Amino acid sequence: MIYQQLINGLMLGASYSLIAIGYTLIFGVLNLLYFAHGEVFMVGAFVGLYLVVYGGANIYVALAGAAIACAALGIVAFYVSVRPVPKDRPLAPLISTIGLTIVLQNLAVYIFGGQQVAFPETIRQELYHVGPVTISSVQIFILVVAVAAMGGLWLFIERTKLGRAIRATAENHETAALLGVDVNRVVLVTFVIGSGIAGIAGVLDGVKNSGISPFMGLGAAVKGLVVMLLGGLGNVVGAMVGGLMLGLIEILSAAYIGTTERDLFSFLILILILLYRPTGLFGTRTAE
């Protein structure tokens, strides 16, 4: 029973991690809360769905297509809701990205309809029994894709020149610029990467829950924020681990305490973190 719950928790947490990565990357380089990220995730799910249903695409093409479409949407979001807003007003981009959230959500209702839409079966359901644990082919697929995306991102951030430039920009824009980093380009790159990963997360969510709706973004956005605070603002590895932890906590509390209290626990954790560890569990920076 406990092993089964651990697997379920990791599954849930992996998608939280993928969403939080985008938040934390963007917060890292710009020091701002970019609220429209949840809607990018939602759009990713619909792009995946349309590619499968109308394009006859397999799941890999759907994932790649959603990642590309969301990366493009991330660029648009940056130029529409972040770039034009004055940098010396910390609350302004929060408001403008909430505005973008409303626009995107309503556009999605207009285009896709306000109902929950079934996500077609793209992976043949098979169940494997490993000792006391039952794991499905869908679950394995989601875990593998999520872990691959996180591992790839980690290598990129830690080992490549552009990854170093992102970390330098996250520490200090002036210092990065004086070393030759084109800061505006790096900021745009983080929007592209964060949004692309959110697109992948959207499709995985569709595959997992077999249904998506234009309103799925808000819940994802809030969980992503909790995970970012849990892992420490701007800390990519923190977001990965924090997501898995939140998933485990939610599933275990649902299993042993009660399903209705699941979200209650994530917000309880948020409050505890803000009170006692505002830098996050692995944090390097204080929440302001």
* Residue of 25, 165, 187, 241 interacting with another protein (CB under 8 A): 165
Contact map string, positions 176 to 215, toward another protein, x by CB under 8 A: -xxxxxxx--------------------------------
> Which of 202, 193, 225 minimizes the C-alpha distance to 32?
225
CB atoms within 10 A of CB 147: 14
Binders of another protein: how many residues, by CB under 8 A? 17
Smallest distance, another protein to C-beta of residue 185, A:
9
Which residues sit opposite 130 in a β-bridge? Answer: 133
Which residues sit opposite 211 in a β-bridge? Answer: 118
Smallest distance, another protein to C-beta of residue 178, A:
5
Based on the shown chain and the rule CB under 8 A, indicate whether residue 240 belongs to the binding site for another protein.
no
Smallest distance, another protein to C-beta of residue 161, A:
7
Q: What does the alpha-carbon distance between residue 192 and residue 101 come to, in Å, rounded to a whole number? A: 17
Nearer to another protein, 6 or 177 (CB): 177
Helical H segments across the chain, by residue range: 2-30, 37-53, 59-77, 92-112, 137-159, 161-171, 173-178, 183-209, 216-231, 236-256, 262-276
Smallest distance, another protein to C-beta of residue 80, A:
23
> Which of 202, 43, 60 minimizes the C-alpha distance to 122?
60
Smallest distance, another protein to C-beta of residue 174, A:
6
Which residues sit opposite 134 in a β-bridge? Answer: 129
* Residue of 64, 92, 123, 167 interacting with another protein (CB under 8 A): 167
Name the residues that contact another protein, by CB under 8 A: 161, 164-165, 167-168, 171-172, 174-175, 177-183, 284
